[in-house]
Amino acid sequence: INKAVVDRIIRVDHAGEYGANRIYAGQMAVLGRSSVGPIIQQMWNQEKAHLKKFNELMVAYRVRPTVLLPFWNVAGFVLGAGSALLGKKGAMACTVAVEESISNHYNNQIRTLVEEDPEKYKELLQTIKQFRDDELEHHDIGLEHDAEAAPLYSVLKTAIQLGCKAAIFLSERI
């Protein structure tokens, strides 16, 4: 296997799933007892399973985590809680922005691994494809729950997606 490619993919995906867990934790801290709480909890449960799998892959492939995890811990929670303070629509706008970014990121990784050797990376490809599909489902749930009606939706979405791009860039490398 191409160790450098696999290390970068597992490191950044672990960081992303860690950040997603912190975002949903922040949203649950604010909206957990509201009508949208069970929906957020359902998405969070899937993210917990994703993080568990990437924790296992980090051990199996001997990949070190990004040194930025303490930062993503705080930033993720603040983003989740902050978006939830805008109400259900704000939380769902955050979900749409993040999950769209992550789905696109996973698609790029799938292309990279297929170009490398799809047979060699079969298990990793299956994992990433499944998680991408879960993220797309979360994206659609956000849209179904009025994400686009959030105050300043397009500004909020663009800002969050720029943050996601920066987090991906940094977590792949550091």
Q: What is the pTM of this model?
A: 0.96
Question: Where do the domains of the chain lie?
Answer: 3-172
pLDDT tens, N- to C-terminus, the chain (174 residues): 899 999 999 999 999 999 999 999 999 999 999 999 999 999 999 999 999 999 999 999 999 999 999 999 999 999 999 999 999 999 999 999 999 999 999 999 999 999 999 999 999 999 999 999 999 999 999 999 999 999 999 999 999 999 999 999 999 999
Q: What is the pLDDT of residue 1?
A: 86
Count the neighbouring beta carbons within 10 Å of the beta carbon of residue 13: 28
Q: What is the pLDDT of residue 67?
A: 97
Q: Could you say which of 3.90.1480, 1.20.1260, 3.30.420, 3.30.1560 is the CATH number of the domain covering 3-172?
A: 1.20.1260
Q: Which amino acid is at 114?
A: V
Q: What is the pLDDT of residue 70?
A: 98
